[in-house]
Structure 1
Amino acid sequence: MGGDHHGHSHAPRNERKIALAAALTGSFMIAELVGGIVSGSLALIADAGHMLTDFASLMLAWFAFRISRRPADWKRTYGFDRFSVLAAFVNGLSLFAIAAWISYEAIERLRAPGEILGGLMLWVAVGGLVVNILAFAILTRGGSDNLNIRAAMLHVAGDLLGSVAAIIASLVIIFTGWTPIDPLLSLLVVLIILRSAWAVVKESGHILLEGAPRGFDRREVADLLMQVEGVCRVDHIHAWSVTQERPVVTMEITATAGSDMTRIKSDARALLLERFHIDHATIEMHEDRS
């Protein structure tokens, strides 16, 4: 069962990165929310709302890493790995709700603009930018394919842009006094939020629906396996992912009479690993009796 450890090698490092980024984001989110309320800036409140989902996503990801280390048991034969995918899915959906709320608020603000303290808004937004750059640097260090780390990075990247939007809005308000820029730029933050939300929901939803791993085409797999010496038929190919890093495949291979089944099986496994990076394959062998 060597294949099972392959997705876990980075877990402790990922867990530390996530915990650090969560601490940074969580502490600043409160400052930004207070700053947004005091200065009257919706762009800051929108960014704090986005930071809240960041914080939630980072905490979910951290919790998912913790829980996925628990070993598999008789009830959950795959362990708790899927929890992280579920966490990413819920997290993506929560972003849609936040985006809707900010949009509603922005439209209300455009109808009836209020006073905004540009100076305070500027300082808070600059602080937010610094925190986001730090969090992003922590998460991107060492790179990662993990869906949760990627979801967290998307959040923080969106947040970074949100902070930039708030800085621009505050400068416009300081120099021209034109306050509608604030809700307009908060709507821009909404678009950024929606884009990252859709990407995460789509990918995690695909895994939860047992969709085929990325780059896996059943027809191509069958064609390639037919080229292995002694294979006369390949049937019932099913592929899915436990998590993004753990693709699994099952299939039936019918071999020509008298051929070496053990060799065919190991050739097929080698091919799946080399071409599709699948190291967990269950292959049922039959001999052609016709």
Structure 2
Amino acid sequence: MDFISLISKMISFIALMLVGYVCVKKNILDKNFSKGLSFLVMNVFLPCTILNSVIANHPDISGAQLMHAIAMLSLAMLLPYIFAAAAARLFCRGGKNAAVFELLCSVINTMFIGLPILESMFGSIAVLYCALSCLSYNLLLYTYGTWRLRASLDGADHALHLKSVFTAPFVATLIALIIFVFDVPAPRLVREIVSSVSVATVPSSMIVVGATLGNARLLDALKEKSVYLISLVRLVLIPAIVLFVLRFLTDDPVLLANCVILAACPSAVLVAILSLQYGTDAVYASKGILVTTALSMITLPVWAYILG
């Protein structure tokens, strides 16, 4: 995809976000609808998109290439955690929001932002790569990520819980891997249903992001100085580190671009949800998500241009 086409696609994504944003501001959509749509995206639409990436068109990739892709994507998911932990220790110095700061820098919005952009750039192979990133993404988030939030609270449960790793996208990725590795044929009816449902992923994801922004206070977020530091780390420094490291480890430009674009995505909405769940500062998390998402509409096209 050329740069002009990418900008056009980003504008269409922004337009879809505005639909969600305006509908929330005008009280056309309430929080329950947004929550329900988000649930559908994560548990129905997105798993179908992941399955469709191997059912509709069998990706032209060997077993060795698949293992290499898993290794590179896992590293692209791990590096942000390492750098974010160092950044939190350097800039927060044990402050009350250090754990949330760290997760805002490390937990990326791969599925609501990364997948639509990469699919528009590279097609079904990008969907497969995004799906493969779910393996390490979920493992890191629901082990270290949740532990980091709990560990920041006095008297909290500090144990690791592996059960949370098995989300719908994670399970769909495992099924997609089985279908791909063993070349399992899917009945025509199944292909048609999965393909039809997967079409809803991109527009629904963008509307959810817009609705999430509509529920936040933009001016309050812009007054929070530390969110600009989070944005610098999340949107600029971390993808630069991923690009620097992975360019020595892979000669596949499409895989490299996928890893870097995923690493350049804004902070995930899950950070606010988990902050609310574990009793850390969900308002601060929402501010970071709002600002990084808004600024990513500028930085993501720049990264896409750099990666060609």
TM-score (structure 1 length as normaliser): 0.28
Higher helix residue share: 2
The higher-RCO structure (CA 8 Å, 6+ apart) is 2
Higher strand residue share: 1
